[in-house]
Amino acid sequence: MKDERHNEIIKLVEKEGKLSVNYLSEILHVTKETIRRDLTELEKSKRISRIHGAAIPYENNSKELLYHRKLALNETDKKEIARRAAALVESNDMIVVDGGTTTVHMPEFFNGIKGLKVVTNSLTFALKFNEALENGRVEGELIMAPGVSYYEQQTVKGAMTLRFLSECFFDKAFISCGGLTDDIVTEYDFEETEISKIMMAQSRVCYLLCGRSKFGLTKAFKIANTQDFDQIIMNDRE
């Protein structure tokens, strides 16, 4: 029974991204103490991670999940954050968007925007923005940053990317992250961190898009202080 319960916990956590001890206790019909013991065992075996009385998919500071796997996690919440971010984009803006699995959904919510210029290092975002252009939901142009393909995250990065971005000036930057605390914003990969930093430095206004499942996590490299962002857009669900 315990093994079956452990497998069910892992399946639920991977599907939802973050589940509280209270919720797991109710849905699996066992005590909170039993769930806490289960989570302790699963964390020791590196099958889940724990944060603030909840379970999240196993997190390793040294290795990020592949893009296609991250994209499937918390999709509803990510789209709601992206919808709110897209509402901040105005006609004639020049914006820069990074390669996150939340920022990538923004083009789905563009509607009636004209004269928009978008710069991105995300291959997937570029495809979605081109669809918005083709469907007539937005008028503008896409500028793809040059760089070396980083296939694990469907982006480009490297010296060419940094040099190109340093010569641009943006109205708004839309940034994702790997971890967020009250004080700092962090990411897994050093080169992607440097890209986020230069995007912010070259932008008049900076927005952070972050799901609550990342709150309390600290990854390997610091992007910025939390206060460096003009607004942090998060989902309301705990």
What are the CA-CA distances from residue 179 to residues 19, 211, 233 (Å)? 17, 9, 14
**For residues 120 and 155, what is the distance between their CA atoms, to the nearest angstrom?**
9
pLDDT at residue 68 in the model = 56
Position with higher pLDDT, 68 vs 113: 113
pLDDT at residue 26 in the model = 93
**Given a cut of 60, is residue 61 above it in pLDDT?**
no
Q: Give just the sign of the alpha carbon dihedral 7, 18, 206, 128.
A: positive
- pLDDT confidence tier of residue 69, bands split at 50, 70 and 90: low
**For residues 36 and 84, what is the distance between their CA atoms, to the nearest angstrom?**
35
pLDDT, mean of residues 37-66: 76
pLDDT at residue 152 in the model = 77
pLDDT at residue 56 in the model = 80
Contacts of 3 (CB under 8 A, 6+ apart): none
**For residues 228 and 204, what is the distance between their CA atoms, to the nearest angstrom?**
12
pLDDT, mean of residues 154-164: 93
Phi, psi of 165 (to 5 degrees): -65, -30
Q: Which tens digit of pLDDT belongs to each residue from 177-199?
A: 989 999 999 998 888 999 999 99
pLDDT at residue 210 in the model = 93
Which of 4, 1, 5, 10 minimizes the C-alpha distance to 47? 10
- pLDDT confidence tier of residue 17, bands split at 50, 70 and 90: confident
- Domain regions of the chain by residue span: 2-57, 67-233
Share of the chain above pLDDT 90, in %: 65
pLDDT, mean of residues 143-155: 88
75-150-200-232 Cα dihedral, nearest 10 degrees: 20
Task: Pick one of 3.40.50.1360, 3.40.1390.10, 3.90.550.10, 3.40.190.80 as the CATH number of 67-233.
Answer: 3.40.50.1360
**For residues 92 and 104, what is the distance between their CA atoms, to the nearest angstrom?**
20
pLDDT at residue 238 in the model = 45
pLDDT, mean over the chain: 89
**Given a cut of 80, is residue 71 above it in pLDDT?**
no
Burial readout 49-77 (b: 16 or more C-beta within 10 A, e: otherwise): beeeebbbbbbeeeebbebeebbebbeeb
pLDDT at residue 50 in the model = 81
**169: its two tokens:** 């000036």
**Given a cut of 60, is residue 221 above it in pLDDT?**
yes
Domain 2-57 is found in CATH 1.10.3720.10: no
Share of the chain above pLDDT 70, in %: 92
Angle between helices 32-44 and 2-16 (to 10 degrees): 80
**Given a cut of 90, is residue 91 above it in pLDDT?**
yes
pLDDT at residue 86 in the model = 97
pLDDT at residue 75 in the model = 78
Which of 166, 196, 220 minimizes the C-alpha distance to 103? 196
**Beta strand 113-120 pairing with 94-97:** parallel
What are the CA-CA distances from residue 84 to residues 33, 95, 207 (Å)? 38, 15, 11
pLDDT, mean of residues 129-134: 95
**Given a cut of 90, is residue 25 above it in pLDDT?**
yes
CA 157 to chain centroid? 17
**Given a cut of 60, is residue 3 above it in pLDDT?**
yes
